[in-house]
Amino acid sequence: MKKRYSISFFMAIIACVTLLSFAYRTSYDRTREQAQTEHPAVEEERENSVPVEGNAEKADVYYLKNLNGFIAVYLGDKKTLYEYTSIPMNGLPEDIATEIENWKPIETQERLYSFLESYSS
């Protein structure tokens, strides 16, 4: 009799785990679909991104630019994407947004991350 209860208990646990996995996956798919319909260009940019080889040197200059409504960080050549942020352009002060539209330079990595940190929250 105990063996029957242990098998039933084990099957119940497997059923619960299966249902939770299905619910999680459904929720994930629905959220991703909703995000893609709200911000299709951002989602498309993330899917089409290519990893950058090489490292930025400390002496390099970084440039900030508007990319699909968000701040993007480029290396000194203004062609190599260093980092794509989730900081929206519409939340920035007008003078900062204008500077970014005109390739705002930032001299050091410390200043770069300080700037990004101050506008990310």
Domain boundaries, the chain: 2-38, 56-120
Q: Are 70 and 89 in contact (CB under 8 A)?
A: yes
Q: Are 91 and 70 in contact (CB under 8 A)?
A: no
**pTM of structure:** 0.51
Question: For residue 66, which amino acid is it?
Answer: N
Q: What is the DSSP letter of 110?
A: H
> What is the rounded distance in angstroms from the CA atom of residue 74 to the CA atom of residue 95?
20
Sort strands 70-74 and 62-67 into parallel, antiparallel or unpaired: antiparallel
pLDDT by 10s per residue, the chain, length 121: 567 778 888 888 999 989 988 888 888 888 888 777 766 555 455 554 555 555 555 447 899 998 888 889 998 888 888 888 888 888 888 898 899 899 999 988 888 888 888 887 6
> What is the rounded distance in angstroms from the CA atom of residue 47 to the CA atom of residue 36?
11
